[in-house]
Amino acid sequence: MPLKKRIIGIDFDDVLADFNTSLAKFHNEIYGTSYRRDDIVVYELGHTWGCSGEEAARRVSEFYHSAHHDRIAPVKGAVRVLSQLKRKNVFVIITSRPEGVRGRTFSLINKYFPRMFKEVHFLGHYHGTEARRETKGDMCKKLGVEVFIDDSLEHAASVSREGIKVLLFNTPWNRHKKPAHVVRVFGWGDVLKKLRAL
C-alpha cells in the first residue's frame, strides 16, 4: 500500500512568484517612484506608496493587467525544490489574489510550474467587493494541509491558529515579528531542509 502523500499549501506571491520586484518596476515606471522591494517594511503597500489602502488596491489591480505582471520571475530555488519534493508531497496554492486574475495567474503557473499543483484557490483578500471572509487558516483546514508556506504575518498566524505547521518566508515586511509556532525560513533551500526534517 503506497504511503499517503503530505499536503503542502503554498502562497503564490513572493513565495513562488517574485511579485514585489516586478510590482516595484511597474510602480516606479508608472507613478515616478524609485523604491525597491527591500524598502517595503510593512505588508500594506499604501504605507510604502503614501496612499490609501483603496488606492493601493487599485494600483495593484492595474499591475495585474500589465506587461510587468506577465514578466514576473519565479522566486529563486522554487522550481528546483518543488521538483525534488513532488514525489512525496501534494502541493496546493492558496493565494490572496482575486478570481479576476485567475487566467493571468495560471499563465505564470503553467510557464514555471507545469503540472506541479493539484489545486489553486483564490481567496480575494484586500481586493474590494471580491474579498471573502474565509481565511487561509480556514482553507488549509478544509483541504487537510499539513504544512503551509507564506510571507504574510497575518496569514501565517491564521493558519498557525488551526494547529497547522507554518513556514514564514523571510521578507523585509515581516522581519519585525513572528507569530508563535511559526518557523521563519530564508529561501527555498531552507524550506527543503525544514520539510525534510518534519
pTM higher than 0.75: yes
Domain that holds residue 24: 20-70
Rounded distance between C-alpha atoms, residue 7 and residue 129, angstroms: 30
Same domain for 78 and 65, yes or no, is no
From first to last of the 198 residues of the chain, give the pLDDT tens digit. Answer: 556 899 999 999 999 999 999 999 999 999 999 999 999 999 899 999 999 999 999 999 999 999 999 999 999 999 999 999 999 999 999 999 999 999 999 999 999 999 999 999 999 876 544 445 789 999 999 999 999 999 999 999 999 999 999 999 999 999 988 788 899 999 999 999 999 998
Task: Please report whether residue 59 resides in a domain.
Answer: yes
Same domain for 120 and 32, yes or no, is no
Q: What b/e sequence results for 54-80 when a residue is b if at least 16 CB atoms lie within 10 Å of its CB, and e otherwise? A: eebbebbbebbebebbeebebbeebbe
Same domain for 182 and 137, yes or no, is yes
Distances in Å between the Cα of 35 and the Cα atoms of 16, 41, 64, 70, 105 are: 22, 11, 19, 20, 25
What confidence score (pLDDT) does residue 127 get? 52
What confidence score (pLDDT) does residue 130 get? 46
Same domain for 81 and 60, yes or no, is no
Look at the chain and report how many structural domains it folds into: 2
What confidence score (pLDDT) does residue 167 get? 98
Same domain for 140 and 128, yes or no, is yes
3-state secondary structure of 1: coil
Same domain for 42 and 103, yes or no, is no
List, in order, residues 6 or more apart from 174 with CB less than 8 Å away.
Answer: 43, 151, 152, 153, 156, 168
Q: What CATH number did the domain enclosing 14 receive?
A: 3.40.50.1000
What confidence score (pLDDT) does residue 52 get? 95
What confidence score (pLDDT) does residue 131 get? 47
